[in-house]
């Protein structure tokens, strides 16, 4: 991929968290030597287009040239649950950065809202709640469980390593299920072999097993002051997961407001691309 192809897509809803997403987008764009950030705003009907495009163009104009990056506005009629992903694929974005409001009060379902947007995308999302730290991504939490799709995250481990050279904190669940233990051990062994072969800095931790794995991931990230949590969504996630609460939506909206990079399992990959 050429440097000019490293396009970062930012979802824009004219709220402060969209501004935060743009600030995070600058950090990724700078590291990827990207020359272009695209702002995407979704409207419900054609009557909204002119006003929305004028407002978004003004935002783009105000930010044009910062860090030598071109800002392009796109306004598209559609649904946030499908159109963002469609635009990301259309412009060949390598990453989408989106702001969210967490799980507060009447916004309790915002985590599930964000998850419904993300699961339609082949492109990873970075979900943020606050402006970025002044420092680079130094400590990244990497949960590894029994799912065979866990190996797919290692492609994005390489991506993050290439740009930020962080320390990866691998955390695995503490379970008594014999079948799960065997699969977790296999995934950890694979991850260890991958990390060692690349010379990446990492540690392996075991969750206490006293709470749900999602909560223990968030607690661990908070305790080490993590800069990012990298997670994989549940494959073939269904309506029940949104209603009852897939663990991803709680991690996305974590109360410590740690940015979360969310990767979807890819059915279109014939084999895992990163190792072996």
pLDDT for res 260: 95
Strand partners, 205: 171
Domain 139-263 has CATH 3.20.20.480: no
Q: Tell me the DSSP string of 207-262.
A: --SSS-HHHHHHHHHHHTT-SEEEEEPPTT--HHHHHHT-HHHHHHT-TT---EEE
Asked whether 261 and 124 are in contact (CB, 8 A), the reply is: yes
Pairing of strands 201-206, 36-43: unpaired
Strand partners, 143: 171
Q: Kindly report the length of the chain.
A: 276
Six token digits for residue 157: 């481990």
Name which of 25, 111, 12 is nearest 59 in CA terms. 12
Name which of 253, 238, 269 is nearest 119 in CA terms. 238
pLDDT for res 52: 96
Asked whether 102 and 257 are in contact (CB, 8 A), the reply is: yes
Spans of all domains in the chain: 3-99, 139-263
3-state secondary structure at position 73: strand
pLDDT for res 266: 64
Contacts 24+ apart (CB under 8 A), 43-49: 43/75, 43/76, 43/77, 44/77, 45/77, 46/77, 48/77, 49/75, 49/77
pLDDT for res 102: 58
pLDDT for res 112: 61
- Domain 3-99 shares a fold with domain 139-263: yes
Pairing of strands 7-11, 95-99: parallel
Q: How far apart, in whole angstroms, are the C-alpha atoms of residue 118 and residue 82?
A: 9
Name which of 210, 219, 115 is nearest 171 in CA terms. 219
pLDDT for res 147: 79
Is 36 buried (19+), middle (13-18) or exposed (0-12) by CB count in 10 A?
middle
pLDDT for res 189: 95
Per the prediction, the chain carries an average pLDDT of 85
Residue 131 sits at φ, ψ, to 5 deg, of -60, 160
The list of the chain residues with pLDDT below 70 reads 1-5, 102-112, 234-246, 266-276
Q: What is the CATH number of domain 3-99?
A: 3.40.50.620
pLDDT for res 235: 60
The dihedral through the CA atoms of 5, 85, 123, 160 has a sign that is positive
């Amino acid at each position: 991929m050429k440097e000019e192809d490293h396009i970062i897509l930012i979802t824009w809803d004219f709220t402060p968290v969209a501004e935060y997403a743009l600030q995070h987008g600058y950090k990724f764009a700078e590291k990827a030597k990207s020359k272009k950030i695209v702002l995407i705003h979704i409207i419900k009907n054609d009557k909204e287009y002119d006003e929305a495009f004028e407002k978004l163009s003004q935002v783009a104009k105000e930010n044009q040239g910062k860090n030598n990056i071109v800002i392009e506005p796109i306004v598209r009629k559609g649904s946030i649950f499908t159109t963002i992903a469609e635009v990301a694929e259309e412009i060949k974005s390598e990453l989408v950065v989106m702001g969210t409001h967490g799980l507060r009060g009447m916004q309790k379902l915002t985590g599930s809202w964000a998850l419904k947007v993300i699961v339609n995308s082949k492109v990873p999302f970075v979900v943020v709640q606050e402006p970025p730290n002044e420092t680079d991504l130094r400590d990244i939490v990497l949960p590894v469980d029994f799912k065979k799709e866990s190996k797919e995250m290692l492609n994005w481990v390489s991506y993050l390593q290439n740009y930020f050279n962080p320390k990866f904190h691998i955390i695995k669940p503490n379970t008594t299920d014999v079948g799960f233990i065997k699969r977790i051990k296999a995934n950890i062994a694979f991850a260890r072999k991958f990390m060692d072969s690349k010379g990446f800095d990492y540690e392996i931790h075991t969750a206490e097993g006293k709470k749900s794995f999602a909560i223990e991931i968030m607690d661990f990230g908070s305790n080490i002051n993590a800069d990012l949590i990298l997670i994989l969504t549940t494959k073939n996630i269904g309506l029940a997961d949104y209603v009852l609460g897939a663990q991803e939506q709680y991690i996305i909206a974590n109360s410590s407001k740690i940015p979360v990079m969310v990767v979807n399992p890819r059915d279109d990959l014939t084999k895992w691309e990163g190792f072996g």
